[in-house]
Amino acid sequence: MSLQDEPALELSAAETAFLTDLFRVGVGDAEGDAAQEAFIQRVMRSVQARQRRALLFDTLPLLMGAALLMAAMLLPVFDTLPMLLAGSLSELPAFITSIEWDSGTLLPLAAVLLAALLPGLLDAVTRMLD
């Protein structure tokens, strides 16, 4: 016999009243107004932090887009990318060795990396602040 096939239990009125009294979930709270207020404020602070985080994440794609655009304009190697994409991979080693790792290359690259890592960083920081 499966669990679902078990016959329903017949309860007397007294038994039902006993169980109802036993399991009654009080909607009041015996711990007082101050403790309740503290809990409510705690929840609201948490919600506000969540709202701030959501705002940050809403603006993040814009920031990332701006960073990528800046990188595209500044990174000289981007000139070579279409050729690379269209051409064969055999040119890749030569392309990599041709890159001059000076500030003109590294700064835009750092901007791209930062933009990629920013969501994770911001999430970690806001979690810590929560």
Partner 1 sequence: MNTLADQELVALARLGNLPAFETLVRRHQALVRNWLRRLGKDAGRADDLAQETFVQAWRQLGSYRGEGQFHSWLLRIAYSCFLQHMRKHRSEAALQERVARLAPAQDHTLPHDESPDAVRMLALLNVEERACMLLFYGHGYSHSEISELLSLPLGTVKSQLRRGILRIREHMRIEP
Q: How far is the CB of 18 from partner 1 (least distance, A)?
A: 6
Asked if residue 69 binds partner 1 (CB under 8 A), the reply is no
Contact between 129 and partner 1 by CB under 8 A: the answer reads: no
Which one among 18, 61, 87, 104 touches partner 1, defined by CB under 8 A? Answer: 18
Using the rule CB under 8 A, which residue among 33, 34, 36, 90 binds partner 1?
A: 36
Q: Rounded distance, CA 116 to CA 123, Å?
A: 13
CA gap 83, 33 in Å, rounded:
70
The distance of closest approach from Cβ of residue 41 to partner 1 in the complex, given in angstroms and rounded to an integer, is 9
| Cβ 39 to partner 1 shortest distance, Å | 6
Q: Rule CB under 8 A: is residue 59 a binding residue for partner 1?
A: no
Measured CA to CA, the distance from residue 88 to residue 83 in angstroms comes to 9
**Judged by CB under 8 A, which stretch of 42-50, 58-66, 87-95, 115-123 contacts partner 1?**
42-50
* The token pair that represents 28 in the structure block: 């009041």
Ramachandran quadrant class, 87 (left: phi over 0; alpha: psi -120 to 50; beta: rest):
beta
> By the 8 A CB rule, do 96 and 68 touch?
no
- Under a CB-based contact definition with an 8 Å cutoff, are residues 100 and 75 in contact? no
The answer to whether 71 touches 112, Cβ cutoff 8 Å, is: yes
Stretch that binds partner 1, among 12-20, 72-80, 93-101, 114-122 (CB under 8 A): 12-20
Q: What is the binding site for partner 1 (CB under 8 A)?
A: 2-4, 6, 8-12, 14-16, 18-20, 22-31, 36, 39-40, 42-44, 46-48, 50-51
